[in-house]
Amino acid sequence: MPASRDRPPLLFTAALALASCHHATARPTAVAVTAEPTARHTVIDRYHGVAVTDDYQWLEETDAPVVRAWVAAQNRHSRAALDAIAGREAIERQLTTIYNAEVASYARAVHRGGRLFALRTRPGGQQPFLVVMPSADERDAERVVLDPNVLDPTGQTAIDLFTPSHDGRRVAVALARNGSEVGTLHIYDVDTGHALADTIERVSNPTGGGSIAWAADNAGVYYTRYPREGERPAEDMAFFQQVYFHALGTDPATDRYELGHDSPRIAETELSTSDDGRWIVAAVANGDGGEFAHYLLGPTGGWRQITRFEDGVAEVVFGPDALFLTSHRDAPHGTVLRLPLDAPDLRAATVVVPTSEAVIKQVVPTRTLLYVVDLVGGPSQVRVFDHAGHPRGTLALAPVSSVNSMMAAGGDAVLFRAETYLTPPAWFRASPDASAPVITALRDEAPVRYDDAEVVRESAVSRDGTAVPVMVIRRRGTVLDGSNPTLLGGYGGYGVSMTPSYSLTNRLWLDRGGVVAVAILRGGGEFGEDWHRGGNLTHKQNVFDDFIAAAERLITLRYTAPERLAIRGRSNGGLLMGAALTQRPELFRAVYAGVGIYDMVRVERDPNGAFNVTEFGSVRDSSQFRALFAYSPYHHVTDGVTYPAVLLTTGEHDGRVNPAHSRKMAARLQAASAPGRPVLLRVSARSGHGMGSSRSEVIAEQTDVWAFLFEELGMRAP
């Protein structure tokens, strides 16, 4: 599930915008919808005097032959049901055409040594590959540094992390296989593409992520590492992340320990450096709940702690001669503090950007300016200040757009990546010399346009009176008569914000009279830390109330009706789907839930579940247990209820959410559901949580998702 370290969550990838046909009538599925009954072996656990019954705990034993046989049977049943859907092959061809027509896309760009590095995709390629070019305006001069499609023609190897050296001559890369997010560090020469002999295993993991930073002299790297065999008990191998230093050309077994002995078991560490590499900051997250401590390493050596978890500092970035801190202490929307590098005592920090209605998400210092990227309920704005905090204006952005990445680009210029619901991502350059940001050559080229579409901001009222924004993407002139097939999504967790994002495939949905909606839920970060805290720990039910209110509002406004309403979510959004369908089954016709969490009583027993305790809570705490058990989807499936049609998907290599959640939820829903609507489980042997999945794997899964929802909502193929 997405964590505070993110890499944004696989929340609403382009592949998930689904198509429909206006005024279609629902029809039964093409094949039998009932899977073979799953054996019940009742286990009763007690928590704080409460007996919790679990009939399918045996499905947690991933490697047990009986579980593997059960998964195989479920896949056969789902495969038969999905393959029998009329038009499925046409959907697959359509998706393949769309993905392969995407000419170029650039992400995770970074400047080093007068060069620009970025991950790029190409038509038909299974994985993004690493390129280098002189600047964002010289795309024609780009050169491939490392292509995992060449390393592994099966498409199962992905670049998990990459960090170029300060002189731009080498790049450290973590490679992971099968979507596992378990990365091995390699060093490549940028000019030749040849790998050095240096190889270090276990630098990244789906539990706490991973990070790499180069030394100032480019002769070695600081890196995160998880325990090696023999260093910790087996149950601790995905915990206790620490920082080490490796000098190039030496035996990794002799690498020097740097930091982490005193960090929590669930630490997630992110390394960043000053432009010259002389200073390094290690941001240590206390699991996924949004608490951070920061450590500074200077030219004289020795790490110095400069913030603690209780200080409320979310981010520390380097300016030319100072650190700039984003603080949430007594400021849920954030303030920016300035801290001199030569005397980094938090008590001496001064406020340079005070709190406001906007939520501060990123601060990018340049030679004399501060660019502050804000969220305003989801969409972005960018304010500009000098280093003393004097306002210098606001950048002109497209309406309802998101700025999801920004970096300094020399002098007082910055490069940033922006997109909207209707226009694909592109990198822009902004500087005091230009009246408005200028688009660079690094722009996504996509085969679809949305000239006839619009974004409408609606609002719902949750159970406790809280206003819940709902972003609606529709064709202009859409008739509100209650018959539009509508796809509603949401997330609501970890302070992750649902910012505007472009979809390659929403065009298909809109062309068939459909409406796409995104609910902005508590638990996210769209309105600051109070909005996040209003939807985590014992307040998690607020997230589900918000989502249900959004669905009801779309019906009241006559966008749709329950029999025309489908919902979707992944990971923490999968939990949202489970809660929504068990709490209000009559409100939805079909549900897609990917890599979801469903058993909230046992989730913390998994490695990544332990990292989630600071976001969800723990059964060890009586009040938190009662909150978890009160909404746990798995425990609130009721026999004989007419549930929506449900498709659950998961990957065998998922290290963020145990696939057992999907297995148990499928078994329970299949046993309980009234006849007539399917509950399908799709388990992939070639993927994990979604990061690093090959393009063919994405197309295969999304073909099934589209086909399922088309069938359940009675949508004819065009």
- What pLDDT was estimated at residue 5? 36
Reported confidence tier of residue 33, pLDDT bands at 50, 70, 90: low
Q: Quote the CA–CA distance of 273 and 412 in Å, as a whole number.
A: 19
Lowest mean pLDDT among 91-105, 128-142, 227-241: 91-105
| pLDDT average, residue stretch 251-266 | 96
Q: At residue 20, does pLDDT exceed 50?
A: no
Q: At residue 336, does pLDDT exceed 90?
A: yes
Q: Quote the CA–CA distance of 672 and 640 in Å, as a whole number.
A: 6
Lowest mean pLDDT among 84-88, 144-148, 458-462: 84-88
Residue 653 among the catalytic residues: no
- What pLDDT was estimated at residue 12? 29
The one catalytic residue in 4, 501, 571, 687 is 571
- What pLDDT was estimated at residue 17? 31
CA distances from 348 to 304, 364, 576, 649 (A): 16, 21, 43, 51
Please give the share of the chain, as a percent, with pLDDT higher than 90.
83
CA distances from 224 to 169, 308, 549 (A): 22, 20, 43
| pLDDT average, residue stretch 128-145 | 95
Q: The tokens of 664 are what? A: 């148990």
- What pLDDT was estimated at residue 717? 64
| pLDDT average, residue stretch 230-259 | 96
Residue 580 corresponds to which amino acid?
A: A
pLDDT digit string, tens, across residues 151-204: 999 999 999 999 999 999 999 999 999 988 999 999 999 999 999 999 999 999
Q: The tokens of 571 are what? A: 């990971």
Strands 645-651 and 679-684: parallel
| pLDDT average, residue stretch 292-320 | 96
| Cα 369 to the center of its chain, rounded Å | 30
| pLDDT average, residue stretch 308-337 | 97
Residue 357: Cβ within 10 Å count: 10
Q: Quote the CA–CA distance of 532 and 547 in Å, as a whole number.
A: 15
For residue 308, the number of C-alpha atoms closer than 13 Å in the C-beta half-sphere is 4
Q: At residue 99, does pLDDT exceed 90?
A: no
Across the beta sheet with 565-570, the strand order is 453-461, 467-475, 515-519, 486-489, 565-570, 590-594, 645-651, 679-684
**Residue from 678, 484, 480, 468 nearest 591 by CA:** 678
Q: The tokens of 149 are what? A: 């499609």
pLDDT digit string, tens, across residues 652-699: 888 889 999 999 999 999 999 888 899 999 999 888 887 778 888 989
Q: At residue 10, does pLDDT exceed 60?
A: no
DSSP string, 10-78: SSS-GGG-----TT------SS--PPPPPPP--EEEEETTEEEEES-GGGG-TT-HHHHHHHHHHHHHH
47-68 in b/e form (b: 16+ CB < 10 A) is eeeeebebbbbbbbeeeeeebe
- What pLDDT was estimated at residue 693? 82
The one catalytic residue in 328, 333, 387, 689 is 689
| pLDDT average, residue stretch 502-511 | 83
Reported confidence tier of residue 11, pLDDT bands at 50, 70, 90: very low
Residue positions counted in the chain: 718
Residue 571 among the catalytic residues: yes
Lowest mean pLDDT among 382-391, 419-428, 499-508: 499-508
- What pLDDT was estimated at residue 716? 77
Strands 401-408 and 322-327: unpaired
- What pLDDT was estimated at residue 2? 43
**pTM (predicted TM-score):** 0.91
